[in-house]
Amino acid sequence: PVRGRAVGDSDCIFCKIINREIPSDIVYEDDDVLVFPDINPVAPVHLLIITRKHIPSLSVMDEEDTPLIGKMAKIANRLAREKGLDSGYRVTINSGPDGGQLVPHLHMHLLGGRKLRWEN
């Protein structure tokens, strides 16, 4: 079920996914977040946990939005258990171009299903 439209940028690909303008395999959604598989996965499990509200990045997040990060982490933990990632997983938030953020919309990556290592 569609819970609501994105609050934000009409040109943002993630807002378009939230608004069902671009199809995606929605794994989880509630009034604050939406979860779907990354289109370019780097691990057997690679989910994106995005805020329904358009927040360009972690670095510009308002203080009132701080609880969203905790909620996103809680959802990541729940999905990791559901996906059988008992031996471990990684949760990351990239912020800004030099931090590896490709889409300017706050999102968290849940990675697992293989032994992960740091690339650099």
54 is catalytic: no
Catalytic residue among 46, 54, 105, 107: 107
Looking at residue 92, its amino acid is T
Q: What is the SS3 assignment for 119?
A: coil
Residue count of the chain:
120
CA-CA distance, 62 to 84, in Å (whole number)?
Answer: 34
Q: What is the SS3 assignment for 8?
A: coil
Q: Count Cα neighbours of 21 within 13 Å in the Cβ-side half-sphere.
A: 12
Q: Retrieve residue 15's tokens.
A: 């807002």
CA-CA distance, 28 to 81, in Å (whole number)?
Answer: 14
Which residues are known catalytic residues?
Answer: 107
